[in-house]
Structures are given as C-alpha cells and as structure tokens.
Amino acid sequence: MLKKITTTMLIFFTLALFGCTETKDMYSFSMYDYMYTFIQVSMYTTENDFKKHSKEIESTYKMFDALTTSYEALEEDSPYLENIYSINQKINQKVEIDKPLYDILETALAYQTLTNGTFDVTLGKISRIWKELIESVPQNPLVGNYVYMHRYEQQVMDKRYEIISFTNDYMILNDGSEELNFERNKMVFDYEVNEEAITNTINRVNALDISDSEVVLTANDNQYFIELKGSNAQLDLGAISKGYTTELVQNYLIEHNVEYFSISAGSSTIALGKNFNRPNEANIFNVALSDPNTSRSLFRPTYGLVKVKNVSVTTSGNFEQYAVFEGRRYHHIISPFTKQPVSHYDALTVIGKSAGLLDALSTALFVMDENAFELFMNENQDSLVIEVIRYNQDESVSTYIKDTVFEDLR
Amino acid sequence: MKKMTKNKRDWILIVGATLIIGIYFAISTWFITYDDSTAANVYYGNNNQPIVVIDFVNEKITIEYQQENAEMYPKVDLINQTITLLGDYKVQGVRQEVVIGYSFINKTVEILEEESPYHICSNQGASDRQALICLPNAIRVEFTNTEIDFII
C-alpha cells in the first residue's frame, strides 16, 4: 500500500516538475475577421497556455462581433437571440437578448449618463448618413471637381483647387486666379466632395428628429430584454464594442496571470500589460501618437509619444474617415446635439485602465467644446483615473497628465 | 600635502567624469530622436512569419515563403520596386492582386493597387512607420522600429 502511494506521489511529483519547467515564450496571433479591424494579441506564456488563451480570446471577439454589428443579421445557426442589426429592425418592441449583449448595452448607457448624453449609442441613422457621404468621396480626379492640397513636395499649401485637366502623371489645377501644373506623385491632397453632396447630407440629417430616442433595458430571472424606442432611433455600438471587448480580453489575461502582453485592436485601441522586450526600461511600451495634420510630411507622421504599461490607450481623431469640402473635414464623430461632425480638436488620446470606458470617452470628449471638456476633466479625471492628450486645431497640444511620460516629437 | 593633491586630483576626475556622463545623458534624452525604420515586413493571413522582408538597411528584398495555392506569388519587381501578392478579396470568384511599392531612398512602403470595397489601404499613401493594413485582402505591412512599439 505504502509503495503504491509513494509511486503515485512520485509520478505526480514528476508531472508537476515537468509542468513547472515548461518554458515560457512570447507568442502572438492575429485576426482579420472581427469588428472591421485588424486585431493582434501578444503574450508571454507557455505554448499550451497560449493555445488555450488564444482560442478563448478569439471566441470573445467573435461573439461580440456577431452581437454588436449593425450591418449584418445573425447567421441562421447562430447561438444568439438577437444582435444590434436585428434589434434595429424591431423598434418599440420588447425583445429578449443574451446576457453579454445586455451587459455591453448597460455599460454603454452608464457612459451615456456619465457624459450627460454626449456619448450616445442611438445615433445609428445619423452616422449612417454621414458614412454614406464619407464613402462617396471620389477616388479619381474628375474635371470640374475640387481637390484640397495639403502639401506639394516640401511646401505646405493648404489650398483648394479646381481640376481643369489631368493625365496619369499630372494635374492642371486652378486656384481661382491661375492654372498650374502639378506632378501627381508629389501632391498630398484630398479629393473634395461637391457642394450638392454636403447640402444633401445636412438636409437629410436635419430632417431626422432624434429627440424621442430611448433605450430601455430590463432584466428578471436570468432573462434580459431591450426596448428601443423612438421614431429615428438606431443603435450603433461602433464607439464602444472594440474597447469593451478588448477590456474583457485584457481582464481575462490578467486573471490568468499573464503579466507581459499587448492587445492592439485596429489603430485606435491598445491594451497593455508589461513589455517583455524592455526589461531595462521598467517594462514600458513606447506608444507613438498619429499626427492628424497630414500636411506636415509626405508620410503619415507621429507628433508625440507616451511611455506606458499596465494601461489602455485609445485615440479618436478626424483624420481617418472623412470627407473634405472647402477644406473642412466632415468625419465620423457626430454630436448628438447638432447631428453634425464636431471640429473642436483634431485628435484626442485617452489613457486609463478600462478600454471600454476609454473608447466611449475618447468619442465623448472629442465632441465636447473646451469649456465642457475642462468641466468634465475637473469633475471626473481623478475618480475615473484617466489621462488625456489633446491635439488642438491650432496644432498646440494640451495635456491632462498625472504620471505618464509624454514626449512631444515635433 | 602631496597626498592631498592626489586626492584632489581624484575628486576632480570623479566630478569631471560624472559631469560628462550627466551631460551626455541629458543631451541624449533632450534631443531624443526616433530613428528611421530598419525594415518593413509584409504579412499574409494569420501567418506570424513575414512573407516578404523589405530590408531598408541592406537594400534587400527577401521572399520568406510562397503563397499557398498561388505558386507565382509573391512576385518581386526590383526595377519598378514593387511586390505583388494575391489577396483574399475576390471579384467574381477570382482572388485579386495586391501591388505593394517600396522605396529604399525614402524608407517607405505604399499599397499601390488593390481591390476592396473602399480601397482603404491604397488610399493610405506611403508610410514610413505606420502599419498598412488591407483587411479584406488579409495583407499587412509592419515596420521594424526599435523605438516605437505601437502607433495609435
């Protein structure tokens, strides 16, 4: 008997020892298929744990991608009750939803309250109209249309020109006084949308009354319900789903004692643990901030850098999806109060613990004017434990920083 | 007395050395410059290994592996400085080419041609640091930069 016990114990001990000696390494994997973005996750762990974690992480993104999309219905064999697309077809009806969708909606509504309605998930119809304008931006030159030239070779232009004629290599443009010949590959410019497109878009959004939009969530006995009310209410979780899901993934990795990791979800949300590759620099990550001012260089430049670890970083800006008319950028961040894109700032980066909160806040803060912004930061910066770096329209940078090191690279 | 002078000399040496090191560190942190990218890696699909490496330092293009079910790809044109891959985006059931241009002089990469609904990645222009991502084609270009871990 004793021999048996000793043998079993010896086997267990050997197994345990093997378990302990399984070496850790840096592993990463990437996903192209969820949330219309490229997602990359890196972690320092054992090969077995990496396999387990990456499977779990992929299924989390996959689930929230299916639940939160407003563009596609759930697949026929989907295990879920409803998604945002299907809820949007059932206005003024109380429908049962799954707990994960209920949870993200509940969180979104809490952020809506926190920001006094500046963050708003019921603007789907309005943002769809602006997105249509952005998608209608010409891809090719057309005689009679306008281009907005930011830069020609090394020279800053910031000027609007009418297209007179063009070849594959040249464009003849008129700045209102004279016709000039430009080499296409030296131009940093945007094709402008025409006046009709802008007027049409503004008229369409102005015609929509969104004042009666409301989301009512109810729960009882493990059943969860939503009722979307309002004549023009359409849910859009685009400004929170990526951050919220990334936060869940980040929490999962922390719970599983993964100390060194990074999750980057597109070009706007990053969640970080410690950086394994910088043991001599306190394991920080160098995160560079995109310069929204495209006229600064021929390439897409960066204006600043933060040194961070164990935080999330989120950016909102007017420089990724936009249409230009008369030099003004009409982008995808819409004010629920004016139903139009807001242009108080060019870009805004928020640093903090909760990627979901940061995602929502970067949008809400972008919409707030300077007074509302100051007021919000004075009231909430400490309790929310957030830091903000704001790139203003006059190219100055305002920082609301506590411990994070920010370097201006200009 | 003699000993004192030697001691003094030691001190001057120590203080001097400390000062020089201090000034060096101060200068290097004040005038910190984030270097050019040393290489750009082209990735296809979920493979963590780059399919093509554009080495800006040695001005060299290396094909790491061939695309599956597409024997001819990647194609490298050293004269026109382009790399052509077969993307995942299909037009009438046919996968479309993605043409990537590179410049050793500028240390930049640009997606020149690709088929996708909004041509997002070919409209991004040339980049010297920021990743270029062609989502519908499952192709991306990442830059190797020792200083910058992420760009947001």
User: Tens digits of per-residue pLDDT, A273-286?
Assistant: 999 999 999 999 99
Determine the Cα–Cα distance for residues A403 and A204; give it in Å rounded to an integer: 45
Which helix (DSSP H) or strand (DSSP E) does residue B22 occupy?
helix B2-30
Determine the Cα–Cα distance for residues A351 and A406; give it in Å rounded to an integer: 11
Q: Match 């000034």 to its residue by tokens.
A: B23
Q: What is the pLDDT of residues A55-64, one digit of tens each?
A: 999 999 999 9
- Alpha carbon of A92: minimum distance to chain B alpha carbons (Å): 34
Q: Is B32 at the interface with chain A, CB within 8 A? A: yes
**What average pLDDT does range A113-133 have in this prediction?**
95
Answer yes or no: are the C-beta atoms of A270 and A297 closer than 8 Å. no
- The alpha carbon of residue A317 and the mean position of all alpha carbons in its chain are separated, in whole angstroms, by 9
Tell me which range, A2-11, B28-37, B65-74, B75-84, is most confidently predicted by mean pLDDT: B75-84
- Alpha carbon of B26: minimum distance to chain A alpha carbons (Å): 15
Q: What is the mean pLDDT of chain A?
A: 92
Q: Is B112 at the interface with chain A, CB within 8 A? A: no
What's the pLDDT score for residue A13?
57
Answer yes or no: are the C-beta atoms of A43 and B141 closer than 8 Å. no
Query: Given an 8 Å threshold on Cβ–Cβ distance, is B130 in contact with A290?
Result: yes
Chain B neighbors of A277, CB-CB under 8 A = 149
Identity of the residue in A32, A288, A300 whose CB atom sits nearest the CB atom of B135: A32
The 3-state DSSP class for residue A4 equals helix
Answer yes or no: are the C-beta atoms of A174 and A162 closer than 8 Å. yes
Which helix (DSSP H) or strand (DSSP E) does residue A325 occupy?
strand A322-325
pTM: 0.84
Radius of gyration of chain A (CA): 25
Backbone angles phi, psi at A144, to 5 degrees: 100, -25
What's the pLDDT score for residue B6?
67
What's the pLDDT score for residue A320?
78
Determine the Cα–Cα distance for residues A243 and A256; give it in Å rounded to an integer: 20
Q: How many residues are there in chain A?
A: 410
What's the pLDDT score for residue B31?
43
What's the pLDDT score for residue B29?
43
Query: Given an 8 Å threshold on Cβ–Cβ distance, is A407 in contact with B32?
Result: yes
Q: What is the pLDDT of residues A92-101, one digit of tens each?
A: 999 999 999 9
Query: ipTM surpassing 0.85, yes or no?
Result: yes
Q: What is the pLDDT of residues B57-111, one digit of tens each?
A: 999 999 999 998 777 899 999 999 999 999 999 999 999 999 999 999 989 999 9
Identity of the residue in A37, A135, A349 whose CB atom sits nearest the CB atom of B152: A349
- pLDDT tier at B8 (50, 70, 90 boundaries)? confident
Find residue B90's DSSP bridge partners. B95
Joined tokens for residue A189? 């410019």
What's the pLDDT score for residue A343?
86
Q: How many residues are there in chain B?
A: 152
Identity of the residue in A37, A275, A290 whose CB atom sits nearest the CB atom of B152: A290
